[in-house]
Amino acid sequence: MSTTTSVIDRLRGRIGVDGPEVTAPVEAGHVKRFAEAIGDPNPRWNKEVPPTFLVALAPVSLHLAEAEEYGKGWLNGGNRFEYLVPVLVGDVITARGHVADVYEKAGASGNLLFIIFETEYTNQRGDLVARLRGTMIRR
């Protein structure tokens, strides 16, 4: 069995296994700084969080040491958000994430490892407020 096959098999064993939960309060100052950083002065962000704020607020850390054995660097393959309930200043958000899929594809400069992550965000009432599906690529 090749090293890359072994790495992919071990990573596939992580599919569906939740990483540690991350919980954080939505603070007005944090939302204000985030809106300034993205250059969006919309007054809506005085009460509600802007898109992509949840990743800055409660990033789920799924360290996949196995993936470090594959290739030499990381690329961000993009994120897709689904918003279900507005996230408001004062909410407390909990993020839960897991690996959803792992696969390999041939690229122009060699094979690439794709790791698909899914994260669900809930508020203090247990309402599912958003889902994130992200892709990390190891080259």
pLDDT at 1 over 60: no
Q: What is residue 86's DSSP assignment?
A: -
Class of domain 3-138: alpha beta
pLDDT 10s digits, 69-98: 898 899 999 999 999 999 999 999 999 999
Q: What angle do CA 133, 136, 138 make, to 5 degrees?
A: 160
Residue corresponding to tokens 């996949």: 64
pLDDT band of residue 5 (cuts 50, 70, 90) is confident
pTM (global) more than 0.75: yes
Provide the phi-psi class of 16: left if phi over 0, else alpha when psi is between -120 and 50, else beta. left
For the chain, give the percent of residues with pLDDT over 90: 76
Average pLDDT, the chain: 92
Q: What is residue 15's DSSP assignment?
A: B
